[in-house]
Amino acid sequence: MAHERGYAASLRGRDTFGDRMHAITKTIHFSYGHRLLDYAGKCRFLHGHNGLLEVEIEADKLDRRGMVMDFSDVSRVIKGWLDEHIDHKMVLAKRDPLVKTLSATGEPLYLIEDNPTAENLAKHIYEQAHTLGIAVSEVRLWETPSSYARYRAT
Ligand SMILES: [Zn+2]
């Protein structure tokens, strides 16, 4: 009977705990400017955001302290990198024609290969985190309080 199958399936789910993971999320606030190339909307002009970054780290086992990772280690490494490289800087594509002018005036820039959309910035931060030794599973970059881009391991 369908009812029995459903009940047996729910018991199996409770017994095996298969595919369940621990996860922690650290949120980090930072400010950045950018402009988008190849884009007709108002974001083609220089403007800024108060970004909210959420980095998630997963683990199937906790360490001896009972942690996925110490929140303060995540903050020290990832917030430290953001503070040094992106916070209060203009994030531009390397091919942006404004790069030459703005660097000549001493504006602090952070240049990336791709158009500095929230999607590309989330991917860039994901890759940086891995380079810095923090194996994040997902990065969500809130560009505004109602819009975020996500990049994650599949
Ligand atoms: Zn923007």
Q: How far is the CA of 70 from the centre of ligand 1 (A)?
A: 32
1 in any annotated domain: no
Q: How far is the CA of 148 from the centre of ligand 1 (A)?
A: 11
In this structure, is residue 52 part of a structural domain?
yes
**In this structure, is residue 60 part of a structural domain?**
yes
142/149 Cα distance (integer angstroms)? 7
Pairing of strands 89-93, 147-152: unpaired
CA of 87 to the centre of ligand 1 (A): 14
Q: How high is the pLDDT of residue 16?
A: 62
| Residue 141 included in any domain | yes
Maximum alpha-carbon separation in the chain: 75
Position 88 in a domain: yes
pLDDT on residue 5 = 52
Q: How many domains does the chain have?
A: 1
Whole-Å CA distances, 89 to 85, 95, 103, 122, 147:
7, 17, 11, 16, 21
Q: What CATH number corresponds to the domain at position 127?
A: 3.30.479.10
Question: Is 118 part of a structural domain of the chain?
Answer: yes
Q: Is residue 5 assigned to a domain?
A: no
| Ligand 1 centroid, distance to 48 Cα (angstroms) | 6
Q: What angle do CA 101, 102, 103 make, to 5 degrees?
A: 95
**Residues classed as catalytic:** 43, 88, 143
Nearest by Cα to 52 from 22, 71, 25: 25
Profile the chain (154 residues) by mean pLDDT over runs of 10 residues. 50 60 97 96 95 96 96 97 98 97 97 97 98 97 97 90
In a domain, 3, yes or no: no
What is the structure's pLDDT at 1? 45
Q: Residues within 5 Å of ion ligand 1 by Cβ?
A: 43
Please list, in sequence order, all residues whose beta carbon lies within 8 angstroms of the beta carbon of residue 71, skipping any fewer than 6 positions away. Answer: 24, 26
Residue 2 has a pLDDT of 46
Burial of 120 (0-12, 13-18, 19+ CB in 10 A): buried
Q: What is the pTM of this model?
A: 0.86
Q: Given strand 89-93, what is the order of strands in its sheet?
A: 109-112, 89-93, 22-34, 47-59, 138-144, 147-152
Range of the domain at 42: 20-152
**Single-letter residue type at 116:** P
